[in-house]
Amino acid sequence: MSETINYGPLHNLIGTWTGDKGLDIAPEPEGEERNPYYETITFSECNDVTNAEEQKLIFIQYRQVVRRKSTDKVFHDESGYWMWEPDSDKISHSFSIPRGICVLAEGSYKTDSNESVLFVESGHNDQWPITQSPFMINKAKTTGFQRKFVVDKNKLKYTQIMNLEIYGREFEHKDQNELTLIK
């Protein structure tokens, strides 16, 4: 079954990762809050699909659970997929978060002998949209999303930017962390 699948640039992500150097910058009505955090991300191998008998995609699934250091409470919960299209050698990414937001992002990757860099973005054109609830569109709209992963053997560093329109202004909601592969 899955042992025969070549996951290409997604292969090095498969497994469970933890990291406690997270820093979140989130909007507040009068400014911003900076939240140190720790998290676990589990990437699981899955399968492949063929769309319209034409487009083959290989995919892995993940779940990310993030806790605020100051309270140990989960304050971000995300799940979705990373996909690789062998024919075009492009990657894409889809996920949802329980604020009423679904993201479909396109991207590319580079690999050399030391590390892989995966970059995806959404909201920069109509074909790769961010879908959100009416409440979020009115009150806390996400207009852009960029995520960069750098994977070096058992280390994963990421940075991400969510462009928001909230509290009557534009805000760059940002996150970064460094994780280690634990199994």
Binding site for ligand HEM (CB under 6 A): 24, 26-27, 35, 37, 66, 75-76, 97, 99, 101, 103, 140, 142, 145, 162, 164, 166, 173, 175
Q: What is the closest distance, in whole angstroms, from the C-beta atom of residue 12 to ligand HEM in the complex?
A: 20
Q: What is the closest distance, in whole angstroms, from the C-beta atom of residue 167 to ligand HEM in the complex?
A: 8
Residue 58 or 103: the one with the smaller Cβ distance to ligand HEM is 103
Only one residue has tokens 């207009």, namely: 143
- Distance, in Å, from the CA atom of 18 to the CA atom of 21, rounded to the nearest integer, reads 10
Q: In 3D, which of 49, 155, 42 has the Cα closest to residue 92?
A: 49
Q: What is the closest distance, in whole angstroms, from the C-beta atom of residue 51 to ligand HEM in the complex?
A: 24
- Distance, in Å, from the CA atom of 130 to the CA atom of 162, rounded to the nearest integer, reads 11
Query: 43, 14 in Cβ contact below 8 A?
Result: yes
Residue 58 or 147: the one with the smaller Cβ distance to ligand HEM is 147
Query: 164, 170 in Cβ contact below 8 A?
Result: yes
CA atoms within 13 A on the CB side of 157: 5
Residue 58 or 132: the one with the smaller Cβ distance to ligand HEM is 132
Q: What is the closest distance, in whole angstroms, from the C-beta atom of residue 102 to ligand HEM in the complex?
A: 9
Residue 58 or 151: the one with the smaller Cβ distance to ligand HEM is 151
Six-digit token string for 98: 């329980």
